[in-house]
Structure 1
Amino acid sequence: MLIGNCQFDEVKGTLTGSNDIWNLPRAELQVLRLLVRHRGTVVCKQVLRQGQGEGAVLSESSVARAVFILRSHLGPQFEYLIETVKGQGYLLLPQPEQFRSQGSPPNSLCLYTALILGIAIAATVGIWSLHRLFFVSHTVTQVSDSPLYSSQVMTGSGKSIGVSLFTKSKTNSSQLLQQAEQLKLALGSCIEPPWEQVYMSLSHDGQVLNITVRGNRHGQPEVRNLKISDSREPREFINPVWLQQEGICE
């Protein structure tokens, strides 16, 4: 299955780009498998968490992080193919050349959530899935689902927000840490932001900063995906102008 310029092999659990092969950990594999099988259809977050009953239910943060990492694999040109549908879930768009000017809106898999959940709960934990979770290939690049760095930032009201950084290149780690400190300073000045968790990553060329913020607004889960591009030297992704435009505290 072609996704952007990457080839997804569901059987092997790999995503192959122009220069990399990623052996997907369980969360990324589960999320991408469901999005691919229902391409063009909105897949509920609960369905993505439950999967096909092959393992323990994923947390919401694990699903958000999996989407975040999958987008980073697709790269700046094709990360939009995984679209966030506010209040529902995620949608894998068709390949760019397959877009048409007219067409009916995608159906929602949410209507079938109860049936899927019933099947998933009845299913037993698959030995194959556990094997894929812990297997590390010596012939492909293994991307760990463990963050490079995790910390907490305290807001003006005393609320704690988690910040996790992910990177595939050690050369980007110092720049990513620097940008994280800038964002933490901004979040620390917020009074009552809805966010509970922040995920950040930097593209391999260091020109695109990806930020995903997850939280709860009026009793409903909310996720925002932000992208900042800067090809200048030195790069200044997070600055007062960007913070005001995005309303990071709101």
Structure 2
Amino acid sequence: MTKLSVNVNKIATIRNARGGNNPNLIQVVKDCERFGAQGITVHPRPDERHITTQDVYDINEICTTEFNIEGYPDERYIKMIEEIKPQQATLVPDPPEAITSNAGWDTIKNKELLSEIILRLKATGTRVSIFVEPDTKMIEGAAEIKTDRIELYTEPYAELYPSNKKSAIKDYLTASLLAKGLGLGINAGHDLDLNNLKYLKEQIPFIDEVSIGHALVCDALYSGLENTIQMYLRQLI
């Protein structure tokens, strides 16, 4: 079964636009879980332009499903993981000023750095996933640094899908089969939506988890949060 983790960054962005607490992020997290989400994802950037550090601690107090904290592994992030001990920590290589995560790790160039961080985070009991592109060398490098899972960066898949879905999935299927053979769990995220999610799941049925935020929140504006979450879950059957 592929789990749906809802990224609530965009909810925090809307709240922060006006200050105050509307929409109420904690209530949205509770509602996402009540409506069927099997996980909650946050990416607390240093400038706190959406999820704040306090948000992460507050969500941890009420989250009843899997809590996935994404981020660049600086000392601020590592301290957060060591104190909260979420079910999953997803390491991304983007700098603080990045609008969104838009590339995967070079697991060969960053082998020493990632190996040390992964060992440190796994000591807390947290499962570690790293953001990678569907490149076989990067997948092999991920296995060498002892991460538990990879998260496939799916923006290229989403971009090509409307014009040629077979070409779009090709590298992802190859990468996923290699990762599975190397004993790695597989997550996926970035620009997945109601148009392209079902095909991804059909072609790679052993994906453990997808993390979806922007598209899901946009769909919820039209269809409502409960209905939207159910629509996404149906793509993963």
TM superposition score normalised by structure 1: 0.23
Higher CA-based Rg: 1
TM superposition score normalised by structure 2: 0.24
Higher helix share: 2
Higher strand share: 1
Higher relative contact order (CA 8 A, sep 6+): 2
